[in-house]
A and B are shown apart, each in its own frame.
Chain A
Amino acid sequence: MKNTIAERVKDFLKKYPPFNVLPREPLFDTAKNVEIHYFEKDQIIFDQNDEPHKHFYIVYEGAVRLYRFGEDVKHTVDICDEGDLFGLRPLIMKENYLMGAAANEETILYGIPIEDFNHIILNYPKVSQFLIASFATNTRDPFTDKHKGKLFANISAIKKVENTFSETQSVKYTKNPVTCNSDLQVKEAAIIMTEKVIDSIIITENNLPIGIITDKDIRTKIGTGVNKITDSVSEIMSTPVETFKENLSIAEAQIERLKHKVSHLIITEDGTNKTKVVGIITDHDLNTSHGNNPMFLMKEIKNAKDAETLKYVRTKATNLTKAYLEQEIPIYFVTKVITEINNAITKKAIRLSIKEIGSKPPVKFSWLAVGSQGRQEQLLKTDQDNALVFDNVPKEKYPEVKAYFLELATKVTEKLNIVGYEYCPANIMASNTKWCLSCKEWKEQFKDWIKNPIAEKILLSIIFFDFEFIYGDKELHETLSKRVFKYIESKQIFLGFLSKATLENPAPLGFFKQFLVEEDGENKDHFDIKSRALRPLVDAARIFSLYHGIHENNTIARYERLMEVEPQNKEIFESCANAFKILLQFRTLQGIANNDSGKYVDINNLSKSDRLKLKSCFKPIKNIQDSLKLRFNVSKLT
């Protein structure tokens, strides 16, 4: 069959090395198997440390920038334009990408399968010579004078990358820390600490650690008069001490500190308190280490100058989530840390976008997170859910102001997409003209939803009433929030409709207490943990909170507040909060294991104990749904 398209691909390839040295036939065979890719500006083609694709690339149109993170700083290594080849070496070496690649402008790439090309490398010495020379000289085309960049990272650079990839990097701790005997007076110890500018001192006996005092002990025990300044240090020291081995990774050190609620970790020769002290890890040591700790990630976000860096940080945050969960750090704490990071990334994306537009926002505005982001329960990378409210403006100014914020929102959502937050499939994003409104318009919108609670509007109110302030003017957010409670107060039947909607999704136990699983489609025999177990709990918490005017979005926080407001129902709310924590942890671990949103759980792959654990969460769902039914007279609604 005649193949005009492959002919055109071939005509293009033959203009550029190494294809220019190939005879017609192998070149045409290569052209026949090309895949054509399209990337929008700033879209990422592959990330540093990604597994190699099955294709390497040649730029057909546009330009691609290659970048690399070293010491957590992003370096643009090179810009490839028409006819330049990239992403080949990792495929030949069978190793992960040493550099990331992103479209520097709108770009079309030809992807060439490495499988075909291996054959060509073997059979055409001119091609392999070209490649060896370019790998060795670090230039894209060693046969011309165009030594404009370093296409292939050299060996020392590879090693450096490994070292800076830091989750597993060990903490640089302070060696030979200051110690003292247990009979020393507190005053003496304080003098030593002041002289050496340290915030802790280890108490030893025969060189073995028995306790530690920190600035905090002096403040809480001496400063308050509980102990005297002339007491011995043994009176106020924390004892016994937690001790650790050398080579503790940064992630581990962070986790240990959280687990034991201590600020200092003591390192001994073999990790037990029966051997000599060799060092101490302080806050300072951890914060100056390059790594995966939240504080450091926040700093990186602050310094980020583009979406790629934000994506890099977000990937590290995912690893952090994983480490936290593996170490069984309480889920509530984990969600807080990850939410902070998510929010910081969004804020940065907004700042970068404003800068890109080049003019300041015309009026006050507030960027809102809605849905699970608004509830601060997003542990995995999931969809974007956001909205924007801007200050009321006179009619004649409205179009101009709205256009500004739509442009801003589009830029922000594009950036968030690059970072790894998918576009919302239901288009609940500030870039949608429906969800980028003035304060007045939002109030009307909310009023309409509450007054006319048809199915579609209930769905929207569920998403939007969990809105959280992220960036901009806090007052706008508060005005809206107060207004929602006011409307609901005047129309309590609305809560009945919300209850009715959530009750359509009953507690997930079928006959004989079996799991209700999906009956058909792709997810057959999978349990939809998100809709069947988490959502009923989220919904119930929302309804009760709206009822009591509780200004909280997070489900766990809501239940905790409800326990205070309705002490007579403390037990039921508490069981819901616990069930929610377990389910959320389940979902997150599933998601991390399968690299997806964790929505579905494969029941057949669960251990017996996990099944029981899951099932134990269903009872509270049933109970809270029963109370909704009674409280809001659902049976009377038609």
Chain B
Amino acid sequence: MFSFFKKKKYPEFWNTYVSKVENCQKYSTFENIRFVALDTETTGFDFNNDRVLSIGAVAVQANKIIVSDYFEIYIEQEVFNKETVKIHGIRRNGTETKLSEKEALIQFLEYLDDAVILAHHTSFDVGMINMALERQGLGSLISKSVDTNYIHKKMVSDSNFGKIYSLDELSEIYNVKTHDRHTASGDALITAQLFLKLLGKYRKNYALNLNDLINSHYPFS
């Protein structure tokens, strides 16, 4: 008779992901935290109509980018926007091996594990992935996340809170070489390098702890 209150039945891979994040013990010691620098290439900027084309990611831990801990997948498309092909270069019938959206998500969650998401304009990438999760009948990502844009803004204590820095602008400021711009993996790597440089500056003025980095999202707090 309690079946009415029963939790929605999620597939095993989703439950595994949720319990991994919820039970993670690593967040208190900065050196132990695995960050996953990620970037998505999409067909456009509309959460409802556009789709994720590819996800690229690489792990950062203890101040190092761990190249062997990487992720790169391409997703089969129903929606196609030929305007953005010019930017990301992924054609509908390109040569990359493509996965179904569901398979891509299964692999992504397994890779993500209990890591903290690191991205530039994180809310966009996480938002696009959440829409895909929703289409597959799953919940939203519960991983903690940080954003290079906000970490930078916290440090420069910009009087102009509205200013949003693009990845190119920050790469210019922090002198990061931009290869493979506009491929998911290339942008993920640039974001990871930016993060290392930002942390180098950040730790001079602030203790390195995850909560403060996450809270850099809220400049007024």
Chain A contact residues, CB within 8 Å of chain B:
1-6, 8-9, 31-40, 61, 106, 108, 111, 410, 413-414, 417, 423, 425-427, 431-432, 521-522
B45 surroundings in chain A (CB, below 8 A): none
Bound together, the chains give a CA A4 to CA B188 distance in angstroms of: 11
B149 interface residue per 8 A CB criterion: no
Contact A111:B64 (CB < 8 A) given known A8-B179, A413-B204: yes
Residue of B whose beta carbon sits closest to that of A1: B72
> Could you write out 29 A-B pairs with CB less than 8 Å apart?
A1-B70, A1-B71, A2-B72, A2-B74, A3-B72, A3-B185, A4-B56, A4-B183, A5-B58, A5-B67, A5-B72, A5-B185, A5-B188, A8-B179, A8-B180, A32-B68, A33-B67, A34-B67, A35-B64, A36-B67, A37-B196, A38-B193, A39-B200, A108-B193, A423-B203, A425-B208, A431-B204, A431-B205, A522-B29
> Nearest CB to that of B195 among chain A residues?
A38
Provide the residues of chain B in CB contact with A431, threshold 8 Å: 204-205
With A5-B58, A427-B207, A431-B204: A32-B67 Cβ-Cβ less than 8 Å: yes
B73 is an interface residue with CB less than 8 A from chain A: yes
* Residues 49-67 of B at the A interface (beta carbon under 8 Å): 56, 58, 63-67
CA gap between A33 and B200 in the complex, in Å: 23
Contact, CB under 8 Å: A4 / B186: yes
A9 pairs with B67, CB closer than 8 A: yes
CA distance in complex: A40, B96 (Å): 38
B175 within 8 A of A: yes
Q: Quote the shortest CB–CB distance from A141 to chain B (angstroms).
A: 24
A426 and B72 contacting across the interface, CB-CB below 8 Å: no
- Among residues of A, the one whose C-beta sits closest to the C-beta of B25 is A522
- On whether the beta carbons of A426 and B67 are closer than 8 Å, the reply is no
Bound CA–CA A126/B74 (angstroms): 38
Does B189 sit within 8 A of A, measured CB to CB? yes
B97 CB within 8 Å of chain A: yes
A111 to B68 CA separation, bound complex (whole angstroms): 12
- The residues of A that contact B64 with a CB separation of less than 8 Å are 35-37, 111
CA distance A229 to B98 in the complex (A): 104
* Further 6 A-B residue pairs, CB within 8 A, beyond A1-B70, A6-B67: A31-B67, A36-B192, A39-B200, A423-B203, A423-B205, A521-B28
Most buried by A among B29, B70, B71, B74: B70
A40→B174 CA distance, assembly (Å): 12
Write the B181-221 contact mask toward A (1 if CB under 8 angstroms, else 0): 00101101100110011001001111110000000000000
Question: Counting CB contacts under 8 A, is B177 at the interface?
Answer: yes
Shortest distance from the beta carbon of A594 to any chain B beta carbon, whole Å: 16
Q: Which chain A residues border B63 with CB–CB below 8 Å?
A: 37-38
For residue B149, give the distance in angstroms from its CB to the closest CB of chain A: 19
With a CB–CB cut-off of 8 A, which chain A residues contact B193? Answer: 36, 38, 108
Interchain nearest-CB distance for A400 vs B (Å): 20
Give the residues in chain B near A417, CB-CB below 8 Å: 204
Is there an interface contact between A2 and B207, defined as CB atoms closer than 8 Å? no
A38→B180 contact, CB < 8 A: no
Name the residue of chain A whose CB is nearest to the CB of B189.
A5
Shortest Cβ distance from A132 into chain B, in angstroms?
28
A425 / chain B contacts, CB cutoff of 8 Å: 207-208
CB distance from A407 to the nearest CB of B (A): 13
Q: Say yes or no: B204 contacts A3, CB within 8 Å.
A: no
**CB-nearest residue of chain B to A413:** B204
Residues of chain A within 8 A of B208, CB atoms compared? 425
Q: How near does chain A come to B36, taking the closest CB pair, in angstroms?
A: 13
Q: Which positions 100-145 of chain B face chain A at CB distance < 8 Å?
A: none
Contact A3 B70 (CB under 8 A): yes
For the complex, give the distance between the alpha carbons of A380 and B197 in Å: 29
A35 engages B204 (CB within 8 Å): no
When distances are taken between beta carbons in the complex, the residues of chain B under 8 Å from A3 are: 70, 72, 185
What A residues does B72 contact at CB under 8 A? 1-5
> A34 to B65, alpha carbons, bound, how many Å?
8
A414 nearest in chain B by CB position: B204
Take A4-B183, A38-B197, A522-B28 as given contacts and tell me if A427 and B205 are in contact as well, using a CB distance cutoff of 8 Å: yes
Residues B96 and A2 in contact, CB atoms below 8 Å apart: yes
Bound Cα distance from A164 to B74, whole angstroms: 59
Given contacts A38-B200, A40-B200, A426-B207, contact A4 B180 (CB under 8 A): yes
Closest beta carbon of chain B to A140's beta carbon, Å: 23
| Interface membership of chain B positions 155-173, coded 1 if the CB is closer than 8 angstroms to chain A and 0 otherwise | 0000000000000000000
